[in-house]
Amino acid sequence: MTQFAFALLGRLSWSQFPQDAITRGGAAGIVLGLLFVLAVITYLRKWKWLWKEWFTTQDPKRIGVMYIIVALVMLLRGGSDAVLMRTQQAVSVGNNYGILNSNHFQQIASAHGTIMIFFVAMGLMFGIINLVLPLQIGARDVAFPFLNATSFWLFFAGMALVNSSLVIGDFSAAGWLSYPPLSELQYSPTVGVDYWIWSLQIAGVGSLLSGINFLVTVLRMRAPGMSLMKMPMFAWSVLGSMSLVAFAFPILTVTLALLALDRTIGTHFFTAGGGGNAMMYVNLIWAWGHPEVYILVLPAFGVYSEIVATYARKKLFGYTSMVWAIWIIVLLSFTVWLHHFFTMGAGSNVNAFFGIMTAVIAIPTGVKIFNWLFTMHRGRISFKSPMLWFMGFVVTFTIGGVAGVLMSVPIIDYQVHNSLFLVAHFHMMIVGGVLFGYFAALTYWFPKIFGFRLHEKLGTYAFWFWISGFLTAFIPLYILGFMGATRRLDHYSASLGWQPLFIVAGFGVVLIGIGVGFQVLQLVVSIWQRNERRDLSGDPWNGRTLEWSVPSPAPFYNFTKQPVVTDRDQFWVDKQSGKKRRTEYEDIVLPKNSGLSVAIAACAFMVGFGMIWHMYWLALLMLFGIITTLVVRSMNEEPEYVLTAREVEKLDHARIRKLKEYEAYQ
Amino acid sequence: MSSKPLVSDHDEQQLSYGRYTAGFLVSIGLTFCAYWIATHVNADRNLLAIILALLAITQFAVQMILFLHISEERGPRWRLAAACFMLCVVLILVGGSIWIMNNLNYRMSPQQVLQYMQSQDNL
Amino acid sequence: MSTATEANGIEIRREREATEKTVFGFWVYLMTDCVLFASLFAVYAVIHGNTFGGPSGKDIFKLPYVLMETFALLTSSFTCGLAMLAAQRKAKRQVLFWLGVTFSLGLTFLCLELNEFHHLTSEGNSWRRSGFLSSYFTLVGTHGLHITFGLLWMAIMMIYIWKRGLTDTVRKRLTLLSLFWHFLDVIWIFIFTIVYLYGSIGL
C-alpha cells in the first residue's frame, strides 16, 4: 500500500528540497514572501474583493496591471540572480571560488535569462498592450476577453512553476535556451530542465493565444472611421509584434515538446545517439528565438513613437515610413536566425546569406531612430522622465546595435561568439530597447490607469542611476569579450587580468540597484501622495491619441460612446480645433467575470508539475480538468451583461463628484 | 448592413453543394493519381518528388478554395492575408531548415563528406 | 424605422460582427497550427534519414492501407461540408446525421492509424528505435491527436445540437469545427505525400 502511495509521488522525495545554505535561503525567501502576502491579504480581509475585482476580471486594464505586477516582481527575482552572478564573477579569481558552486551558478544564469525574457519582458509587454491598446483604438475591450484572462493566468502558472523550482527540485543548468545534448536526460537527469520546459510551454501557450487575440483586436475592433493608416503608431507596432507572436511561437511549442519527448518517452530528436541531431534543436529554437526579440522590441518602438511625439509636441515624423519599417522588420526577422549560430559549422554560402540579411534588418531600425530624431527636431521638447528613458534608449541601443552589425559579419562573429561581447550587445538591446521603453510606458500611462501621476523627481533619479549603472555594468563587458572572456564563467585565472573590469561591472550593478530602489520609492511615495498628484483632466501630458480623451482613471467600459474617427491623432486634432465632444450615454455590453480562467491555469500548473515529477496520473487528470473547464465554459449561454445607459450615466456622475472632491486637494 | 443578396438562398445552397462535391471528387482524383504515380511509375526519384509535391499543392489549393472558402471572403481579405503570411513563414522555416541542416551535414568528417557526395551523385 | 426594428437590426449586425470576429480569430489560430505542423515537417525532413540501423519508411509503410485511411478522412471532410450546408438550412436532423457520418469516418481513420502504430510498436519499431521513427510517430501522432480532439469536440457539438437545437451560437461553433476538420484533412494531404509517398519511393 505504501509502495503504491510512493509510486504516486513520482520523483518527489524529501531530498528534493534545498540542501545547502544559499538554496535554502532562496527557497525561504520565496515561501516567506508568499506567506507574508497571503497573510496581509487575509488580515485586510481582501480575498473576496481580490477575487471579484481582479482575479475573475475580464477588463484588460486590470489584467494589464496584474501582468505588470507579476513582471516587476520577477524583475526583482531576475535582478537578484544578476547580482549573484556579478558578485561571483567579481570575486571568483585564482584561489577564490566565490560564493556559488559551478552547478548553482549555471542554474542562476539559466534562471536569470529565462525569467527576464519570458516573465519580465513578455509580461511587461502584454501588460502594457492590455492597458493601452483598446483605449488607443477606441475599443471597449479586446476581441476575446475570456481568452485574454486565460492567457494571463497561464502566464501566471508558468511563473509559479519557475519559482517552484526554487522550493523543490532544482532549475536547469543548461542556459536560458537549454541546448541538447546537455539538456537531454543523460546529462541533465534532474528535474531542472523539465521545470524549464513546462513553465515555458504553459506560458508560451498563453502568449500564443494573446498574439491571436491582439491581432484580431487591431484588425477588427477599431473605432468607426479609424482606418489602419489613421491608427496610432503603437497600435501598428502591436499588430506587427502579434503577427510575429502568432507565427513564431508554434515553433517554440514544437521544440519544447520534442525535448520533453526525448526526456520522457525516449525519442531520439536531439540525443547524441540513436539518430538524433542536436544541431536541429539549435536551428529550431533560434527560428523562434530571433522573432522573439523583435516581438519584444516592436511594441517598445511603438511606445517611443507615442512618447517622442507627445513630449516634442510635434506629430510623428514619417508615419508611412514607420509603418513600412515595422513590416519590413516583421518579414526580415524570419530570415536572420542563423546569425545566432554562425559557428555551428554551416558553409560560407549559408553564413553569408544570413549575415547579409542581418545587416539589412538594421536598416529599417535605423529608419525608425532617425524618424524619432526628426520628430524631435524643431519640437518644443519637455524632458520629463519618459523622454529621458527614450534618450537613454537612443544611446544604449545605438551602441548595442552597432555591436550587432559588427557581429553580423560571420568572420568577426567567429571571434566574439558566446563571449561577453555578445552578452553586452544583447543586454544593451533588450535593456536599452525593451526595458527602458516599458519603463517609459509605465510612467507615461500610469495616470491613465490609476488616476494620479508618479513622482517625477524620483523617476528622474531612478533613470540617471539606471543609465549610469547600466553603462558601467556593460561597457566593461565589451572589453572583456575582446579580451577573450566567454559567457557563463563562474571562475577564471588571475593571470588573465580580467578582475578589475568585472569589479567595475559589479559596481555598475550597485548603481542599477540604487536606480531600482528609487523606482520602488517612487511608487510608494506616489501612492502615499496620490491625492496631491491626481490627474483631474485625463490629459496630463497634452497627449495626441484617443486614450487621453477618457477620464483618469479610465472607467472599466473605456468610452461612454465609441468615438468616430476622421483623422490621425484624432484627439490632438479635436483639441486644436477646439471641438468638444459631448458626453453621450448608451447601453454597453460587457463580458461577465469568470473564475474559469483561474481554474484552467491551476490545472495547467498541475499538468506541468505532474509531468516534471513523473506523476503522470496527475498530469492526465488535470488535462481532463482543463477540457472539462472548457466544456463548462462553452455551456455558459450568457457570458455578457448589459450596462444600461442610465447606469453608465450614474457611474459617470459619481466619478465627476469624486473629481470635485479631489480638486480640494490641489 | 441589410443589402439584398444577389443570389437566392436556394441557389447559394446548390452552388455550395456543387463546390463541396467538386472539391471532394477532385481531391479523390488527385490522391489516387499521386498514389498511382508513387507505386507504378519508375522514374528519377527527384522528378517523382516534384510531381507528387505539385499534386499535393494542387489538392491543397482545391481544398482551401472549395472546402475552406478562402476565396469567398467579403471585405478586406484578412484570412487570405493570414494564409499568405503563413505560407511565407512555412516556406522560409522548412526550406531554410533543410538548407541549413544539409549544409551542416556537408561539412562533416572527410569520410562522411565522401559518403554525402556519393549519395548526391547517385553513385 | 421604429426603435424596435432598429434595435433588432443592431442586434443582428452585432451578432454577425461577433461571428465574423470569432471565425477570423479561429482562422488565425489555424494558421498558427499550420506553422506548428511545418516545424514538425521540418524536423521530419531533416532526420527522416536517420534510421540508425532500423527500418526506413520504405520498409514499414503499407500504401494501400494508408490510402484507405486517406479516403476515410477525405470523405469525412466532405460529409462535414454537407453537415454545414444542412446547418445553413437549419435542418437539425440532417446535421446530426451528417455529423454522425463524419464522426464515424473520423473514428475509422483514427482506429486505422492506432492499429498501424500498434503494429509498428509491437514489432520493436517504436519511437525509441531511431530518429526517423521518433519524427514519424510525432508528426503523424500530432495529427492524430488533433483528430482526437476534433472528434471529442464533434461529439460534444452533436449533444448540443440534440439538446439545444441549431441556435446562432451552435451554428457559429459548427462553423469553427468544420474549419478545423477541413484543415486537418489539408494537413493530411502533406503527411500522405511527404511521409508515405516520398517514403515509399525511397526519399
Chain C contact set for B1 (CB, 8 A): 13
Query: If we measure between CA atoms, which residue out of A344, A188, A315, A194 comes closest to residue A260?
Result: A194
B87/B62 same-domain check: no
Query: If we measure between CA atoms, which residue out of A363, C33, A600, A493 comes closest to residue A485?
Result: A493
Chain B contact set for C45 (CB, 8 A): 94, 97-98
Chain A contact set for C168 (CB, 8 A): none
B80/B68 same-domain check: no
CATH of domain C26-200: 1.20.120.80
ipTM of the complex: 0.95
Domain boundary among B30, B57, B72: B72
What is the Cα gyration radius of chain A? 25
Residue for cell digits 437566392? B8
C-alpha cell at A14: 524529501
Give the residue from C78, C188, C196 with the most B CB atoms within 10 Å of its CB, the best one to mutate. Answer: C78
CB contact under 8 A, A268 and C31: no
B52/B81 same-domain check: no
The pLDDT of A281-301, averaged and rounded, is 98
Task: Render pLDDT for A12-60 as a digit per residue (tens, 0 to 9).
Answer: 988 899 988 888 988 998 899 999 999 999 999 999 999 999 999 999 9
| Bridge partners, residue A590, by sequence | A641
Q: What share of chain B is helix, strand, coil (3-state, %, to 5)?
A: 80, 0, 20
Q: Any chain B CB within 8 A of the CB of A219?
A: yes
Give the residue from B88, B98, B104, B108 with the most A CB atoms within 10 Å of its CB, the best one to mutate. Answer: B104
CB contact under 8 A, B97 and A287: yes
Query: If we measure between CA atoms, which residue out of A473, A529, A543, A537 comes closest to residue A505?
Result: A473
Under-70 pLDDT residues of chain C: 1-7
Using N-to-C axis directions, what is the helix angle for A348-376 and A385-407, rounded to 10°? Answer: 160
What is the rounded CA–CA span in Å between residue C42 and residue C58? 20
Alpha-carbon distances of A247 from A288, C73, C186, rounded to whole Å: 9, 27, 18
The set of residues, in sequence order, having a beta carbon less than 8 Å from that of B25 and lying 6+ positions away, is none
**For residue C24, what is the nearest residue in chain A, using CA coordinates?**
A216
B3/B63 same-domain check: yes
B6/B48 same-domain check: yes
Main-chain dihedrals φ then ψ at residue A412, nearest 5 degrees: -70, -40
> Cβ atoms within 10 A of the Cβ of C59, count?
10
B63/B32 same-domain check: yes
**How many structural domains are present in chain B?**
2
C-alpha cell at A337: 536566425
Chain A contact set for B113 (CB, 8 A): none
Query: Do C116 and C41 meet the contact criterion of CB atoms below 8 Å apart?
Result: no
Chain C contact set for A253 (CB, 8 A): 36
SS3 C55: coil
B61/B91 same-domain check: no
Task: Render pLDDT for A180-207 as a digit per residue (tens, 0 to 9).
Answer: 999 999 999 999 999 999 999 999 999 9
CB contact under 8 A, C42 and A284: yes
C197 CA: distance to closest CA in chain A (Å): 22
C45 CA: distance to closest CA in chain B (Å): 7
Side-chain-facing half-sphere of A100: CA atoms under 13 Å: 26
| Bridge partners, residue A93, by sequence | A492
What is the rounded CA–CA span in Å between residue A404 and residue A61? 36
Going by pLDDT thresholds of 50, 70 and 90, the confidence category of residue B109 is low
Task: Render pLDDT for C27-73 as a digit per residue (tens, 0 to 9).
Answer: 999 999 999 999 999 999 999 999 998 999 999 999 999 999 999 99
B30/B64 same-domain check: yes
CB contact under 8 A, C169 and A637: yes
In this complex, which chains have at least 3 CB pairs below 8 Å with chain B? A, C
- Which residues of chain B from 46 to 65 reach within 8 Å of chain C, CB to CB? 48-49, 52-53, 55-56, 59-60, 63-64
Q: Which of B16, B68, B98 lies nearest to residue C182, judging by beta carbons?
A: B68
B48/B83 same-domain check: no
For the cut 60, the answer to whether the pLDDT of residue A275 exceeds it is yes
Q: Measured in Å, how far apart are chain A's first and last C-alpha atoms? A: 71
What is the rounded CA–CA span in Å between residue A631 and residue C18? 20
The set of residues, in sequence order, having a beta carbon less than 8 Å from that of B88 and lying 6+ positions away, is A331, A334
Task: Render pLDDT for A470-524 as a digit per residue (tens, 0 to 9).
Answer: 999 999 999 999 999 999 999 999 999 999 999 999 999 999 999 999 999 999 9
Residue B109's domain comprises 76-123
CA–chain centroid gap for A135, Å, is 20
Task: Render pLDDT for A404-418 as a digit per residue (tens, 0 to 9).
Answer: 999 999 999 999 999
Give pLDDT, residue B8: 64
Chain A contact set for C29 (CB, 8 A): 212
HEC readout, B15-44: HHHHHHHHHHHHHHHHHHHHHHHHHHCCCC
B9/B58 same-domain check: yes
In this complex, which chains have at least 3 CB pairs below 8 Å with chain C? A, B
What is the rounded CA–CA span in Å between residue A340 and residue A362? 15
Give the residue from B1, B17, B32, B86 with the most C CB atoms within 10 Å of its CB, the best one to mutate. Answer: B86
Give pLDDT, residue A174: 97
Q: What is the DSSP letter of A119?
A: I
Domain boundary among B51, B72, B93: B72
What is the rounded CA–CA span in Å between residue C194 and residue C200? 10
Side-chain-facing half-sphere of C116: CA atoms under 13 Å: 23
CA-CA-CA-CA dihedral for B15, C103, B56, A276, to nearest 10: 160
Give pLDDT, residue C4: 62
